[in-house]
Structure 1
Amino acid sequence: HWVILGHSERRWVFGETDELIGQKCAHALENGLGVIACIGEKLDEREAGITEKVINAQTKHFADNIKDWSKVVLAYEPVWAIGTGKTASPAQAQDVHDKLRQWVKANVSEAVANSVRIIYGGSVTGGTCKELGGMKDVDGFLVGGAALKPEFVDIINAKQ
């Protein structure tokens, strides 16, 4: 069983903070659940050039509460792309995923950086998944509305 924590809608609608989300992460893992840890920047943060600062801070709150990374997946969800029809370019997604992996290597361990899955969750569609899936550090997808459409099979097969 898995739980999604830190999703942008929970942060926005319910005002969940990085601190609370980190605590929820610890609780979920202690109770045997796997955690899909969502991180991502808003449009104004991307435009201000602070994407890396934002995702590093969010990731730190998760990392501070994780003892065993074997049941953790990191999900980069650029908030500016969710439900807007906008998608990060494959190069933008790869850049953030690479920076995430480097942060994990520097702040957790090289072994965890090499093994943790980092998935992309910003309005993935059958039309965008192939190119995104071809990026070195994009290990899969966190799919929303597209999971209800026939094109979902294209997303499922994108990393094969």
Structure 2
Amino acid sequence: MKLSQFLSFSGNCKILKMVRKFCVGGNWKMNGDKAAIAEICKSLSGAALDSNTEVVVGCPALYVIYARGLLPNTISVAGQNAYKVAKGAFTGEVSPAMLKDAGADWVILGHSERRQIFKESDELIGEKCAHALAEGLKVIACIGETLEEREAGKTEEVVFRQTGVLSKHIKDWSNVVLAYEPVWAIGTGKTATPQQAQEVHAALRQWLTKNISQAVSDSLRIQYGGSVTAANCRELASQPDIDGFLVGGASLKPEFIDIVNAKK
């Protein structure tokens, strides 16, 4: 290849959007027993899932080892929460090391239900993310605004603040997926339009470029979460800055397979 051709090729490569592997997470929340989980795992194991999509299921900590034993290695298992230290007198908490020992390789942190119901602060979530990453878990870090904040025009202010606190604690973003979950669209049946979701994802990417680096902005996957269904997943997946989904109720149903295959 001539030098002029190489320079032209290199320039075009910079222009092309970095390919980010689509990632779909299923958050089972506090649902399921052995029989129900066995049925879900059987359905997922026998499904023709898009090989170009990374699939992660977040199950209750009690069932991590059980789910891991039933699922193929092509499907990862996540904990739904973990504390910020390895061990100690923290009754009822689970550490990243425990999740790893049970077979999990991911953990969901900062979900709006942890923030809203259990009053977890931005700072605590940042500390949890840092410790989970240090222990070798990959992290789905959740951010998002409430209905009141959206109606007050504070969406970007809120998600930038939450991401900013994460950035104080996360130095290497290679094992992080950011999940934008508008609180008003979780479990309500309401969904941000593809355009609304894309606007926030694009704004987040601009914030990452300005405040962290262009490399992180280009490579970090940003999921959308908020009443994602088989009916709306394809249009959402077509947006340039939506790199996957974090799915709640639908992840317990057969339609989760359709959501995983949204890009297929």
Which among 129, 133, 141 is matched to residue 29 of structure 1?
133
Deviation string, structure 1 residues 5-59 (Cα, Å, up to 9, x no partner): 1100001111000011111111111111111110000000000001000000000
Larger radius of gyration: 2
Quote the sequence identity (%): 69
The alpha-carbon deviation at position 159 of structure 1 amounts to 2.1
Moved >4 Å (runs of 4+) = none
Q: Secondary structure at the match of 1:135?
A: coil
Q: Match for residue 122 of structure 2? A: 18
Q: Following TM superposition, by how much is the alpha carbon of 1:151 offset from its aligned partner in structure 2, in angstroms?
A: 1.3
Secondary structure of 2:150's aligned partner: helix
1:140, 1:159 within 8 Å by CA — same for their partners in 2?
A: no
1:89 to 193, 200, 203: 193
> What are the within-5 Å matches in structure 2 for residues 8-157 of structure 1?
8-157=112-261
Deviation string, structure 1 residues 54-86 (Cα, Å, up to 9, x no partner):
000000111111111110000000000000000
| C-alpha distance in structure 2 between counterparts of 1:93 and 1:102, whole Å | 14
The answer for unaligned runs of 5 or more in structure 1 is: none
C-alpha root-mean-square deviation of aligned residues, in Å?
0.7
Aligned length: 160
Deviations 1:130-156 (A, max 9, x none): 110000000000011101111111101
Residue 189 of structure 2 aligns to a residue whose secondary structure is: coil
How far apart, in 1, do the equivalents of 2:113 and 2:258 lie?
26
* SS of corresponding position for 2:245: coil
Instruction: Give the helix-richer structure, 1 or 2.
Output: 1
Q: Which runs of 5+ in 2 are unaligned?
A: 1-104
Relative to the length of structure 1, the TM-score reads 0.98
For 1:119, what is the secondary structure of its paired residue?
strand
Which amino acid counterpart does residue 148 of structure 1 have in structure 2? L
